[in-house]
A = this chain, B = another copy of it.
Amino acid sequence: MAQFTLDCFLESGNAYKAALMLELCGADWTPRRVAFFTGETRSPEFRDRNAMGEVPVLTHHRPDGDVVMSQSGAILDYLAGELGHFGADNETERLEILRWMFWDNHKLTSYTATYRFMSLFQKKTDDPVAKFFHARAVNAWTVLEGHLADRSFVACDRPTIADLSLCGYLFWPDQIGMDASQYPNIQAWLGRIAAMPGYKRADELMPSGLDPETATA
């Protein structure tokens, strides 16, 4: 058995954050496909393991028992400690990394991912709710674009879990309704992440959660 199991599916950028972290760290891990689009995360069995009903869920198979954890931000923080990569070197760095990860969860991924879900999978591109989320996402991208004007990575002078959190959905500009040419600093930063040794795309790391019978949601 691998050391880590990640409950995940290709279409989840939040799952990609954890999968990319495991891969870049060279961890011994395996994905477990979650049939999200046919309701697995709403099942009682899934909720028993994770009351939040969300993907990703990380299981660390330890000699003294499994550690099970949800929320990509907490998983990234845990893995940085366990695997010794992409974490903070001191308390000032730790807090700056944490600050951007909270902001990602609150303002960037939250709006970006919901817009993408509505437009890509529910085909509600013209829905006023989707438009509202897209406008909020644009605000967040604009803040990130400005922040990256004079630095290579988000929180430190090297890649950290803050970068791996924020990039989760941004490698899919077409799917999130981002005109990439308007965000050159973000594109350059994504290029630096993609150039890291061991980098892989989401489809190279995780199985699709779509129904294989119909290939739709």
Q: A95-B69, A110-B110, A129-B132 are in contact. Are A147 and B51 (CB under 8 A)?
A: yes
- Stretch of A19-27, A97-105, A194-202, A206-214 contacting B (4+ beta carbons < 8 Å): A97-105
A163: CB under 8 A from chain B?
no
**In the assembly, what is the distance between CA of A132 and CA of B117, in Å?**
14
A84: CB under 8 A from chain B?
no
A160: CB under 8 A from chain B?
no
* Option from B98, B99, B105, B127 in Cβ contact (under 8 Å) with A106: B105
* Option from B91, B102, B127, B147 in Cβ contact (under 8 Å) with A105: B102
- Stretch of A5-13, A31-39, A73-81, A182-190 contacting B (4+ beta carbons < 8 Å): A73-81
A128: CB under 8 A from chain B?
yes
**In the assembly, what is the distance between CA of A74 and CA of B96, in Å?**
8
Binding site of A, secondary structure by majority: helix, strand, loop or mixed?
helix
Which residues on the B side are within 8 Å of A53 (C-beta)? Answer: 143
Interface flags for A101-129 (1: CB within 8 Å of B; 0: not) read: 11101110110000000000000000111
Q: Please classify how large the interface on chain A is, using the bins under 10, 10 to 19, 20 to 34, 35 or more.
A: 20 to 34
A71: CB under 8 A from chain B?
yes
The minimal Cβ–Cβ distance linking A186 to chain B, given in whole angstroms, is 14
A83: CB under 8 A from chain B?
no
Q: A51-B143, A77-B98 are in contact. List 9 more A-B contacts (CB 8 A).
A: A52-B103, A52-B107, A52-B143, A73-B102, A74-B99, A105-B105, A106-B110, A127-B128, A129-B132
> What are 27 contact pairs spanning A and B, CB under 8 A?
A51-B143, A51-B146, A51-B147, A52-B107, A69-B95, A69-B99, A70-B99, A71-B98, A71-B99, A71-B102, A73-B102, A74-B95, A74-B99, A77-B95, A77-B98, A78-B95, A81-B91, A102-B102, A102-B105, A105-B105, A106-B106, A106-B109, A110-B110, A127-B128, A128-B128, A128-B129, A129-B132
Q: Which residues of A line the B interface, CB within 8 A?
A: 51-53, 69-74, 77-78, 81, 91, 95, 98-99, 101-103, 105-107, 109-110, 127-129, 132, 143, 146-147
